[in-house]
Structure 1
Amino acid sequence: MIRSDVHEGWTVRAVGGLVPEAIATGPVPATVPGSVHTDLLAAGLIPDPYQGTNETGLAWFHRTAWLYESQLAAAAAEDGERVDLVFDGLDTVATVKLAGAELGRTANMHRSYRFDVRHLLTGGPLPLTVRLDSALEHGEAVEREIGARPREYPHPFNAIRKMACSFGWDWGPDLQTAGIWKPVRLERWRVARLAVVRPLATLDGSTGRLAVHVQVERSGLGPEAELTVAVALSDGPRAELTLPAGVCSGRADLEVPDAAVWWPVGYGAQPLSTVTVSVSAGGSALDVAEHRVGFRSVRLDETPDEIGRAFTLLVNERPVFVRGLNWIPEDHLLTRLTRDDYAAAIDRAVDANANLLRIWGGGIYESDDFYDLCDERGVLVWQDFPLACAAYAEEEPVRSELLAEARENVIRLSPHPSLALWNGGNENIWGYEDWRWKAKLNGATWGARYYYEDFPALLAELDPTRPYHAGSPSSPGLDPAEVHPNDDRYGTRHEWEAWNRQDYTFHDNFVPRFCSEFGWQAPPTWATLTAALAPEDLHQESAAFLLHQKAQGGNDKLNAGLAHHLPVPADFADWHWATQLNQARATAYAVTHLRSHAPRTMGSIIWQLNDCWPVTSWAVVDGAGRRKPAWYALRRAYADRLLTFRGDELVAVNDSDAPWQTRVALRRLGFDGTEYAAGHLDLDVPARSVRVLTPDADLLAAKDATAEVLVADAEGHRATRLFAEDRDLAYRAAPVSAAVTPVEGGYSITVTASSFARDVAVLADRVAPDAVTDDMLVDLLPGESHTFVVRTAATVDLAAFAAPEVLRSVNALAG
């Protein structure tokens, strides 16, 4: 097998639609893999769609056709040689031609395509073109053909197999990309090639078991040969298969006694082994493929109990409390992402003490880099099939495309040990029950066959080693008409009533078995926001700010959520800090609520880790990769050991392998430091357990609810409980001072409190765009100090770190 990339010499030009004159005049250089948006950006022909109101001005993209052109210079096929032109991904409605001959038409971003071109090659350069027509118009045509299906956003994203959020979402832009978005190559081969290599590694006690499924494609040129398939595991056993003439598939089984076990982060190491598969005929090597695997088992415990049914993920037969984050595409312009970008984003999740990422169903099957990095870091992956917030037709042309992409990607992803669970889709079963779809459907298909028949059958065939969940949320194995898909006693739950209509304390009303979506909004960090918006647009009602707030009534909900706890500031900078602080509070409140109810609750997947552009959203890391205050709150709430108040109860969470035995010191103090009551509690929390303790009555009985705080300290862990909302507390408005010292790689800021200071933060990005602080949201008692370390390459005036817009707490907002 000889593989050669076809990435050079491409251009792209508009060939249809209402295109600005400057773009209609001719072709521009095209990067492959890439997209039209990134090529036109590079050529200076369009403004950055992430800036200001530029997104609106680029709506003409939606109905434009594009033509990619290049010359394919390739030697003519020799006798007995197959030559294939392979596209790993086309976005999305493509017509591919070589030397004027049509090779094929595509309408699925999530699939790869292979074309036999040996009959066209002459030895000289041949024109190669890829025409990309409007995905929007294709979706509209499919709707006219088979009937529209309900969806929660205006464009017919559910009628075309393209990244759904490419058409806009309640946190993402409506750009509708087009391009040759994955690699293109020419493959020259003889006799046979490895079409599918599917190694499935499992753990049986201490024995690793590896089942390697192999499918070959024979060239069809000349008599069929007997093939030898060799399978080798690095530092391990080997096996050999013989495929007689006419046979195209086989399986090799290898055993590894006392296998090195792959564990999720926080449970053990992540050893990986390389599986090498080669095929030969008559002693001549034909093709070779490599995959990495890890030996582990994974299953889902859904045992009925007195509450309903459990929903507990077990890895190597150990129950895992899922500390998760939902993942959306890291950049709306997907082709700009590098392995380093993925590594940085995944590391931010790991640094926040997360152990799972859920690949949400409105995005894509992620890149190989993503899963490789999760394998290495021990991050479990929950993989949605890409169906979200809509009814999906079960008729052609949707059905065959959807099942073909599912088959291809199950095969591609199944070797990864990090992949722990397949999920049928996002909010589609819930939507069918609750979102007024049934009347609109009037008996039409909506996707049930995919969730309850097709996906389970496909996984039983291709990947029986992992659990499958029909949809998030859903109540597995129960009739949705009898047990609601969002019932907290069964399966998975999404909690959006808190954000949409209530308050984050609304989480107290439910104790779900597993909460796979919940969250609270806030704007991006100040540096990210001000890089995207002009100074005159920094107010809640500016057109640019509202364009970067995609949630319906989002600002109103931010203000309503604030008003439950804090005054709503009139000053924009104060409002920005207050909303970010409220997101952090909401995040910590929900997560600690869920963790405090383990093992009844065994999963928390917050919406969301990341953003794909600069936007006000539920993300804890903004579109520029900057950590919002909520990220620091989540890191503390997801720590192995957690001390938190739940009303009058003190909850200790120990999600580590060692028992937690210590003494908790409790004090009820005035904001000025006066001690009114003190006591202690002995703490003994077994590994992977939770304990609930009740402080003495005098510790809970504030004499002045507006000026006292209950503090619990144990081995560096602190929990504080106030006796009224922040807006009603008698905070000192300026309770801290700061001493700033340059250190290697940045600055040290030691903050000292003269009165109780709550949620002290250094908003370092306001001092320098690259500045990152090591900690945030620290509660300080009178006389206490905390040192923040800020990393930055910038030279900064030391006084800047003590400026009121940088050194923040809740005190100035509520005082």
Structure 2
Amino acid sequence: MRVDGGEDLLRTLDLAELEWTVRLSSAPDASAPDACGAGAALPADELASVRAGIPARVPGNVHDDLLRAGIIPDPYRDDAVNGLAWIGEGDWTYEAPLPDGAVRAGGRERAELVFEGLQTVAVVEIDGVPVAHTENMHRRHGTDVTGLISPHGSRISVGFASAARVMREREAADPGGPLPYDWAYPYNRLRTMASSVGWDWAPPLVSAGIWRPARLEVWEGIRLRSHVRTSLAPDLTDGELIVDVELAAAGDAVARGKVDIRLGDRTWTIPVDGATSVRLPVAAPELWHPRGHGDPVLHEVVIGVVGTGTCERHRVAFRHVALDTAVDEWGRRFGLVVNGIAVQARGANWIPQDLLMSRVGEQRCIGLVGEAVAANMTMLRVWGGGVYEQDAFYRACDEAGLLVWQDFAFACAAYPEEEPLRAEVEAEAREQVRRLAAHPSVVLWNGSNECLQGWDDWGWRERVGTRTWGESYYRRLLPEIVAEEGCGTPYVPSSPFSSSPGVAPNADGEGTVHLWDQWNLLDHTTYRDHVPRFVAELGHQAPPAWATLRAALTRMPGRGDDAQLDHRQRQIGGMRHLVRRLDGHVPEPDALLDDLDDWLWATQLQQAEALRVAAEHLRGRWPRTTGLLVWQMGDAWPGISWSIVDHAGRRKPSWYALRRAFAPRAVSLQPIDGTPYVVLVNDTGEPWQAHVALRRVHVVDGELAAELLEVTVPPRDTARRRLGAEVVLPHRRREEVLVADVGELRATMMLCRPDGVRWAAPRPAVNIVRDADGWDVTVEADVLLADVSIMADRLAPAASADDQLRTLLPGESTTFRILAGGSLSGADHTDPSAWSARPLLRTRNDLWHR
């Protein structure tokens, strides 16, 4: 039987509108081995209410439902998370009544339940009848429920088994024993967010819930489903619009009809008999370009069933991307080429924005993408220990011209390749590559994070033996799926990764590297000892903003080694590293622990300095080094980590340092072979006629010597010039600093070991002008002031500064714009004395005069 194209009578019920409850359907077994604190018990009355059921939200998670009910504290406040492991060890059931009339009587309708995300092991039931079983947080689940929902109302339930218990049970059932992984649970046994079991930047927080939107779709007649993507020839002239169309009829009918496909002024009409896939030629399309290379042009595609009002709209773009791994004089290149032009990747790694991912709405996600754009980034890497991001993330990157390196969800573990995991991996990968194929921003797929390195460097060979560990995923299954579904997007099996056979991961002359010795073992200045082809990870820790800590702690500590702060640190030895990385850069680092304000400022400043040094050095090595992605963009909780924007969305000083170092045109002073050079980077399409004003400046007396350089930097190129002896050679090394100015750009360089500089005591003059939105704060330097910053969150939690880390020579002044972020009623805040000293005004000089 066939049904010709007719009106689509689709009705959608957002399941968020239902009255949900959640109940503890099976309590954790406190005696279970490795139950990770499951024995933390609730008072009897609260346990009874949780067993009976409490109000719940969809999308959501059981932690937030318990928090709203007043049963648990905020997991991120103080050390509350330590007592909440029992939640992840229990089984939970979400239930809600479907309203009368959700489906109509008569049997002419078709109904489908759609869950965009379930976390993680779930059984979906309608009136007690199981209709779906899911075991993958990373997949969309659609289930035909035609005939199962009563027109007079039914009840839907989603029962979640403890993911923590399932992970342990599956590991225990493996006759070969454990496979390598880290953290609290064997996340390599289940397709869930790896970092939910803890990481070196977040605590374990295994939850359950309907974590992404869910809906009931009901229709009669014909239902249109379509999927679009594009391809573009390397010569950029011939494009294709690839369209998959399915017409689904209610009941058992097979649908047929005609479909119009419109792209700009082009229209194609095609017949559809159930389903079809077509490749439509698009000559000379207007191209999508990455940031700094042109406009990110997007096109709307409208697909409609002829003779009906049924249509779907999509956005596509045309661009060609390739991965250049050719051999050159330095080894083997690793660089992305978009529309025939080699692009300079500068950006950050993107981890989950919250451990409870249902908390991350579109605006929060788009806001952090905006922070990357504002910091002059050109690429974000979606890291494999998190999730495949929501559609809003990729749309925002498409619109901004921001490149996306997309990991598959494998990280730092050996993964079995047998069933049932293998089938889930294949279905997940195919769904996600197909979903993201239309997004021009997605320019690279990566099979795994540090999994090949684990095999080569972390002793996995001996521990795994002859068992499977994921290699066939990374080298066969995943690249096959990308080739079939990814429309020419390049693929690499892991990061770090060496392109040449037989070369181990993490080699400077090959592929991608992760530079972690500088944080774990060495001084950040040793970044200059490396000239890799592409740095996919490097980072330096710092605490969050003061206001972010204050909101997370009942008692604000007075010292930098307080136990409350130590709980925010999830890396073993991380607190020690924070202080030891200050050795040689500030006087008496250990004494900083005595004062929280100074400890915060010094460690935040050190993160900024470390990332600045890395970014300036590596960008100056273009085109040998083609990319740098710092670890990490944001935070999953209010912790001490490598983020440059903290969990509350506040910028750390390192964000401002990277904004300068990542600017399309940037200037720096760097020691090269022991001699100071000025390094100019021009990542624009036009030559840069740079007038470089070089000075040697005394920290109190001002300019001592000067030199003017005229440098032309070609498009997409760098230039290095050695400084003249008169400027470089100091009279009093510990009291003099080199300064390079190119227009509004400024770079500085110390002439001795950083902690040996005799910074003068700061006594700046400050003037404040208030208006309806905030303050203009002008700071005038009496001596050389290094890294002048206003910590606006100390004024008001919502306040923010337009800039930080400015250097002022004696007699110079600068104006900061401070936005209040809310109402200015109340205190005037125009007393200059309040703005002219710590903790509101900070300089590097402060740390020499504590």
* TM norm structure 1: 0.95
Aligned position for 1:240 = 269
Q: Does 1:636 align with 2:657?
A: no
1:439-518 matches, within 5 Å, as 439-476=462-499, 478-479=500-501, 482-518=502-538
How far apart in 2 are the matches of 1:222 and 1:758? 74
Aligned position for 2:206 = 176
Q: Does 1:251 align with 2:281?
A: no
The CA deviation at 1:577 is 0.5
- Which of 833, 843, 847 aligns to 1:809? It is 843
Tell me whether 64-73 or 220-229 shows the greater mean CA deviation: 220-229
- Which of 112, 135, 151 aligns to 1:123? It is 151
The CA deviation at 1:64 is 1.0
> Does the 8 Å CA contact 2:234/2:340 hold for their aligned counterparts?
no
Residue identity in the other structure for 1:359: V
- Which of 236, 240, 243 aligns to 1:213? It is 243
How far apart in 2 are the matches of 1:761 and 1:541? 24
How far apart in 2 are the matches of 1:333 and 1:435? 30
- Which of 84, 93, 106 aligns to 1:58? It is 84
Tell me whether 663-672 or 408-417 shows the greater mean CA deviation: 663-672
Residue identity in the other structure for 2:173: E
How far apart in 1 are the matches of 2:686 and 2:300? 33
Alpha-carbon displacement from aligned partner over 1:11-42 (angstroms, at most 9, x marks no partner):
11111125624144231111111111122222
Tell me whether 260-269 or 519-528 shows the greater mean CA deviation: 260-269
Residue identity in the other structure for 1:458: I
The CA deviation at 1:762 is 0.9
1:335-734 matches, within 5 Å, as 335-476=358-499, 478-479=500-501, 482-567=502-587, 568=589, 569=592, 570-647=594-671, 648-734=676-762
Tell me whether 745-754 or 144-153 shows the greater mean CA deviation: 144-153
The CA deviation at 1:89 is 1.2
How far apart in 2 are the matches of 1:194 and 1:226? 11
Unaligned segments of structure 2, at least 5 residues: 1-9, 29-40
Q: Does 1:200 align with 2:200?
A: no
Secondary structure, in 3 states, of the residue corresponding to 1:366?
Answer: coil
Alpha-carbon displacement from aligned partner over 1:378-427 (angstroms, at most 9, x marks no partner):
11111111111111111112111111111111111111111111111111
Aligned position for 2:20 = 10
Aligned position for 1:109 = 137
* TM norm structure 2: 0.92
How far apart in 2 are the matches of 1:290 and 1:353? 31
Q: How many residues align?
A: 805
How far apart in 2 are the matches of 1:597 and 1:590? 11
Aligned position for 2:32 = none
> Does the 8 Å CA contact 2:60/2:359 hold for their aligned counterparts?
yes
> Does the 8 Å CA contact 1:203/1:316 hold for their aligned counterparts?
no
- Which of 736, 743, 753 aligns to 2:771? It is 743
Tell me whether 786-795 or 83-92 shows the greater mean CA deviation: 786-795
How far apart in 1 are the matches of 2:377 and 2:194? 26
Residue identity in the other structure for 1:624: A
Identity level (%): 41
> Does the 8 Å CA contact 2:557/2:596 hold for their aligned counterparts?
no
How far apart in 1 are the matches of 2:828 and 2:450? 47
> Does the 8 Å CA contact 2:236/2:339 hold for their aligned counterparts?
no
Distance 1:607 1:387, change over 3 A: same
Alpha-carbon displacement from aligned partner over 1:702-753 (angstroms, at most 9, x marks no partner):
1211101111112121111111233211111224221222134111111111
Alpha-carbon displacement from aligned partner over 1:70-97 (angstroms, at most 9, x marks no partner):
1123325644532212212111110111
Secondary structure, in 3 states, of the residue corresponding to 2:327?
Answer: coil
How far apart in 1 are the matches of 2:759 and 2:71? 53
Tell me whether 110-119 or 761-770 shows the greater mean CA deviation: 110-119
Distance 1:120 1:208, change over 3 A: same
How far apart in 1 are the matches of 2:503 and 2:234? 35
The CA deviation at 1:677 is 2.4
Alpha-carbon displacement from aligned partner over 1:86-122 (angstroms, at most 9, x marks no partner):
2121111101111111112111101111222223233
How far apart in 1 are the matches of 2:420 and 2:48? 32
Aligned position for 2:317 = 294
Residue identity in the other structure for 1:236: D
How far apart in 2 are the matches of 1:68 and 1:180? 9
Tell me whether 614-623 or 176-185 shows the greater mean CA deviation: 176-185
Secondary structure, in 3 states, of the residue corresponding to 2:331?
Answer: coil
CA RMSD in angstroms comes to: 1.9
- Which of 64, 67, 70 aligns to 2:93? It is 67
Secondary structure, in 3 states, of the residue corresponding to 1:587?
Answer: helix
> Does the 8 Å CA contact 1:13/1:24 hold for their aligned counterparts?
no
Q: Does 1:798 align with 2:830?
A: yes
How far apart in 1 are the matches of 2:517 and 2:48? 48
How far apart in 2 are the matches of 1:209 and 1:141? 50
> Does the 8 Å CA contact 2:220/2:250 hold for their aligned counterparts?
no
The CA deviation at 1:201 is 4.4
Alpha-carbon displacement from aligned partner over 1:434-474 (angstroms, at most 9, x marks no partner):
11111111121111111110111001111132111211110
Distance 1:774 1:222, change over 3 A: closer
Tell me whether 416-425 or 261-270 shows the greater mean CA deviation: 261-270
> Does the 8 Å CA contact 1:710/1:722 hold for their aligned counterparts?
yes
Secondary structure, in 3 states, of the residue corresponding to 2:733?
Answer: coil
Residue identity in the other structure for 1:181: W
How far apart in 2 are the matches of 1:70 and 1:810? 58
Aligned position for 1:274 = 300
Distance 1:522 1:796, change over 3 A: farther
1:123-162 matches, within 5 Å, as 123-146=151-174, 147-162=177-192
Distance 1:457 1:733, change over 3 A: same
Aligned position for 1:185 = 215
How far apart in 2 are the matches of 1:494 and 1:194? 46
Secondary structure, in 3 states, of the residue corresponding to 1:652?
Answer: strand
How far apart in 1 are the matches of 2:567 and 2:638? 10
Tell me whether 202-211 or 341-350 shows the greater mean CA deviation: 202-211
Secondary structure, in 3 states, of the residue corresponding to 2:761?
Answer: coil
How far apart in 1 are the matches of 2:644 and 2:371? 10
The CA deviation at 1:578 is 0.2
Tell me whether 801-810 or 573-582 shows the greater mean CA deviation: 801-810
- Which of 345, 352, 357 aligns to 1:334? It is 357
How far apart in 1 are the matches of 2:448 and 2:221? 40
> Does the 8 Å CA contact 1:136/1:155 hold for their aligned counterparts?
yes
Secondary structure, in 3 states, of the residue corresponding to 1:528?
Answer: helix
> Does the 8 Å CA contact 2:351/2:634 hold for their aligned counterparts?
yes
How far apart in 2 are the matches of 1:638 and 1:128? 51
Tell me whether 223-232 or 339-348 shows the greater mean CA deviation: 223-232
